[in-house]
Amino acid sequence: MIHRVAGRRLGRTSAPRKALLRNLVASLIEHERIRTTEAKAKEARPFAESLVTLAKKGTLHHRRQALSKLPRKSIVKKLFDELGPRFETRNGGYTRITKIGFRKGDAAPIVQLEFVE
């Protein structure tokens, strides 16, 4: 039995898994809604919510921390200029996972990960 091991491996080693999550969250910030598998969405959700919390604080230090975790400056700009102020009064729970069906090829559960309005 594997005890006290948090998180899902998603069939990848650590570096590709980290890149996958960074790119998933970048797409979520850019488009504000993505379709992905349930396991990937459940892993990306806490990462995205911590970045929104950084954006709510909005200091230069928090912007640099977000830049170290996201691939492009344009995404960090949108995060701090649009999403941070939008969730200024909300105390967490910035994303929603909605089940939308199963993938045709392997019947993997597909969900929609989006920011709440």
- Res 86: pLDDT: 96
Strand partners, 114: 33, 96
Contact 20, 10 (CB under 8 A): yes
- Res 117: pLDDT: 81
pLDDT in tens, the chain (117 residues): 889 998 899 999 999 999 999 999 999 999 999 999 999 999 999 999 999 999 999 999 999 999 999 999 999 999 999 999 999 999 999 999 999 999 999 999 999 999 998
- CA–CA dist 117, 114 (Å, integer): 9
- CA–CA dist 46, 90 (Å, integer): 16
